[in-house]
Amino acid sequence: MKIARLLTTACLLTLGTAYGQPAPDQIGKITVQPVEHASLALSVPGKTIFVDPVGHSDQLNGMKAPDIVLITDIHGDHFSPETLEALHLDHATLAVPQAVADKLPAAYRSRVVVLHNGDQKTIKGISVTAMPMYNLPESPDAFHTKGRGNGYILVLDGKRVYISGDTGGIPEMRSLRDIDLAFVCMNLPFTMDIDHAADAVLAFKPHIVYPYHYRGKSGKSDVAAFKKQVQDKDPAIDVRLRDWYPAEP
């Protein structure tokens, strides 16, 4: 099994280099591969998870075919039927909110698990909990309304992994505890600025946090400033900056 893990990591390292993506990180048995913007892949021995696969089907198809695909929302930077069609999903289960399930092509519907905010299900041996994700202040015409999309908490290799999806620094995020690894969005006007993101992260204190989904209408958020805000107040939080936009200047 150790040899298999080494081979998987070596393949992912080669893949990241070949496609200009950041090299993957190894956190215990968890391999983290940034793809772009909201898209990433997580793997542990025997399981591969794609999160919000959009574009880059060539890179994703170079990885082990996913066992689980998580989709957070209906927006095009999270949900792409064209990308799904280009991926090898013959044995994948798609975990999605109802709004996404309603838009999925019929070919996938027999393999869909619908999760509403607060639902917890074990999918292929992986615990998946759907978390709220929504804008603050709440508004009926907000980009992201409460209950439509899902953030997720996964348990991988005994570690709790939080994927924020598109959200503000909501109470449900701030009250999280015992999060080992977090992916937290920050882009205006769609989610929150770096000040709100840093304040939320300081409230729930993940061991490791990746700022992701940080391109907005006015360009990319200053993730270095986000890191400084967090680590000035809590140096124990490991803020990891990776280039989620390698094809962009």
pLDDT digits (tens, 9 = 90+) for 116-155: 999 999 999 999 999 999 999 999 999 999 999 999 999 9
Q: State phi, psi for 48 to the nearest 5 degrees.
A: -130, 135
Rounded CA separation 217/143 (Å):
13
Q: Rounded mean pLDDT of 171-195?
A: 97
Q: Is the peptide bond before 189 cis (omega within 30 degrees of 0)?
A: yes
Q: Please tell me which residue, 63 or 170, carries the higher pLDDT value.
A: 170
What the block records as the tokens of 24 is 């993957």
Domain chopping of the chain, boundaries: 2-239
The runs of H, that is alpha helices, within the chain are 2-18, 57-61, 81-86, 98-101, 171-174, 194-204, 223-233
pTM score: 0.91
Domain 2-239 has CATH 3.40.1410.10: no
Rounded CA separation 200/168 (Å):
9
Q: Quick check: 16 pLDDT over 80?
A: no
What the block records as the tokens of 118 is 């607060």
Q: Given this model, what pLDDT does residue 172 score?
A: 98
Q: Given this model, what pLDDT does residue 240 score?
A: 98
